[in-house]
Amino acid sequence: MKNLILGCFALFLSSQALYSQKINGKIIDAVSSDPLYNVAIQIDEKTGTYSDDHGLFEIELQGVKRLIFSCLGYDTRVLSIDSLKYYNYIVKLTETENNLNEVMLNLKPLGLDSVLFYIEKYKNRNYSNSLIKQQVFFRKSNRAAFEKVDFDLDRSTVLSRSNRKLANKSLDQFSNDIKASKSTFYTDYFANYYSKAASNKSGYFIRTQIDSVSGYRISTSTEDFTIDKIQQKAQELVLTYLDPQQSYKVKSGLFKVEDSISIKNVNADLEESKNAFFTSMVRNDISKTQREFDFLNANSDSNFLNQDNYKYELKGTTLIDDDLTYVLAFAPRRSKAKFSGTLYVNVSDFAVRKLSYSYAKGKRGEHFNMKLLLGIKFSEDDKVGIIVFKKDAKNIYRIQYASETEGRYFYVNRSFKFIENSSDKNKIKFGVKLEGNFYSTTELLVVNTKVTIDDKMTSIKNSKFTPFMGKDAYENTNWSKGKLLEPFKNILP
């Protein structure tokens, strides 16, 4: 009787197994033992499932002889059912060095959370802050649209009646020229640019340097009508009608601008700025573009991968250079985030290949309103840009091309006072009132990148000013007239 009961019980268990062969398992990282979610478990070409957020899975084994486990970033593993039982239904996957040949299943596309997870997971592998040397082409273009330009020259004891009349006539002509101007200024630079991440007690920063920098300035006008240049030119016009043998203290509003200024010094500075550029300014401009989209710096306001600041929507996929790419829209999650736009993320390695952005609705950039107290108002109302990343020889993604256009409203109402350096201390006062919009575009193209050494960066010495190139020398370069930018003219989606 006992044997009969045991036999019936065994028959019952086996019959249960025939009708229910569902098993539970777990998938983990072979090194860290961290659970892996969204791992595809393939039974055949049309059937399968995925692991959940804790790496757990449940599957019906009836008629199944083997299972295929595949996950982007890990080696695909095939296990027989006996092997699965031997490992107590714990499947360990090993991270792969090459994601390009991994299996992609059509059973279920990756969801938004999974895509964001893998972007973050492989961020440090896809991007790097190692010391590099890059050949960089950089273009700046500026255009101002002046709505109001007024100069007000007071009746001064320093100026004779005839000179005051001539000065006012010159200022009036200057004002008309500015308002009628539609000029755009282009400045092209080509340089070796070095950068490396560093840290100190204050936190994370990027060390930078440049050498072999060349520049050339192109203008559609003979005049430079930026705000600073207008104020300088107005000073120059007034000084022209003063005693050239005297020097003057200059005050703007409540603030002394300079201890001593003279016609000779002003003319010399203007002449130098026409024929040369500040070397450090080029380095700073390139650094600003590179630094703003450093995905390894979580504190960057322009790091659109910061999930604390931005929310995302998976729009689907598209092709970029024949590579399948996820399309993710992003928008501000917190008030400190200012932009909305689109991220294009490689399906194969989850690296951002391209991004486009602009100010989100109701957002703006820097703004400053001291119109009543200081006579200055400034508002950065528009910004639109695009960044393209390219993989280098070390399989690291770096900025290949960047373009950004800013639009700023400005209002300036400044008074200048020239005080003669003499016992009489004669004074002359004039005002400058400017209002309008200023548009600036920066474009950066990395021509070549290679890893370098620290000694090269620290040994670079640059002069304060670098002379602009001559026209013939510029036109013989391979970067003249923005020709390197031609492939990127229609890159916006």
CB 73, CB 122: distance < 8 Å? yes
* Residues 374-391, mean pLDDT to the nearest whole number: 86
Residue, of 403 and 20, whose pLDDT is higher: 403
Residue, of 39 and 312, whose pLDDT is higher: 312
pLDDT of residue 252: 66
Residue, of 201 and 209, whose pLDDT is higher: 209
What contacts 370, CB < 8 A, 6 or more positions away? 376, 377
* Residues 436-447, mean pLDDT to the nearest whole number: 90
What share of the chain in percent tops pLDDT 90?
22
**Quick one: fold of 19-108?**
Immunoglobulin-like (2.60.40)
Interior CA angle at 410 toward 407 and 415, to 5°? Answer: 155
Q: Flag whether pLDDT at 358 surpasses 80.
A: yes
Q: Flag whether pLDDT at 378 surpasses 80.
A: no
Q: How confident is the model at residue 17 (pLDDT cuts 50, 70, 90)?
A: very low
* Residues 332-355, mean pLDDT to the nearest whole number: 92
Query: d(Cα 275, Cα 266) in Å, to the nearest integer?
Result: 15
How does DSSP classify residue 468? P
Give me the sign of the Cα torsion angle 319, 320, 324, 330.
Answer: negative
Query: d(Cα 325, Cα 339) in Å, to the nearest integer?
Result: 22
Q: Flag whether pLDDT at 121 surpasses 90.
A: no
Residue, of 442 and 6, whose pLDDT is higher: 442
Q: Quick one: which of 176, 154, 180 has its CA closest to 238? A: 154
Domain boundaries, the chain: 19-108, 126-488
What contacts 299, CB < 8 A, 6 or more positions away? 203, 204
Q: Which two tokens stand for residue 239?
A: 């000084």
pLDDT of residue 454: 60
Query: d(Cα 67, Cα 57) in Å, to the nearest integer?
Result: 12
C-alpha separations of 479 from 134, 139, 214, 219, 282 in Å? 15, 10, 11, 17, 16
pLDDT of residue 45: 63
Helix, strand or coil, per DSSP, at residue 195: strand
Q: How confident is the model at residue 258 (pLDDT cuts 50, 70, 90)?
A: very low
Q: How confident is the model at residue 145 (pLDDT cuts 50, 70, 90)?
A: confident
pLDDT of residue 272: 53
Sequence letter at residue 470: G
Residues β-bridged to residue 399? 389
Query: d(Cα 37, Cα 53) in Å, to the nearest integer?
Result: 5
* Residues 317-333, mean pLDDT to the nearest whole number: 89
* Residues 28-42, mean pLDDT to the nearest whole number: 87
Q: Flag whether pLDDT at 210 surpasses 70.
A: yes
Residues β-bridged to residue 376? 370, 412
* Residues 388-410, mean pLDDT to the nearest whole number: 89
How many Cα atoms are found within 13 Å in the side-chain-facing hemisphere of 207?
15
* Residues 151-164, mean pLDDT to the nearest whole number: 76
Lowest pLDDT segment from 46-60, 271-285, 343-357: 271-285
* Residues 466-493, mean pLDDT to the nearest whole number: 87
Q: Flag whether pLDDT at 357 surpasses 90.
A: yes
Residue, of 92 and 144, whose pLDDT is higher: 92
Q: How confident is the model at residue 453 (pLDDT cuts 50, 70, 90)?
A: low
| Whether the model pTM is above 0.85 | no
Residue, of 119 and 76, whose pLDDT is higher: 119
Sequence letter at residue 25: G
Q: What is the mean pLDDT of the chain?
A: 79
Q: Flag whether pLDDT at 130 surpasses 70.
A: yes
Return the top range by mean pLDDT from 217-221, 381-385, 454-458: 381-385
Phi and psi torsions of 121, nearest 5°: -60, -40
pLDDT of residue 354: 94
pLDDT of residue 259: 35
pLDDT of residue 442: 92
pLDDT of residue 102: 40
What contacts 106, CB < 8 A, 6 or more positions away? none
pLDDT of residue 277: 87
pLDDT of residue 255: 40
Q: How confident is the model at residue 253 (pLDDT cuts 50, 70, 90)?
A: low
CB 73, CB 95: distance < 8 Å? yes
Q: How confident is the model at residue 128 (pLDDT cuts 50, 70, 90)?
A: confident
pLDDT tens digit string along 62-108?
Answer: 778 888 888 877 888 888 888 898 899 999 998 876 443 343 444 34
Q: Which helix (H) or strand (E) holds 223?
A: none
Neighbours of 333 (CB within 10 A): 14
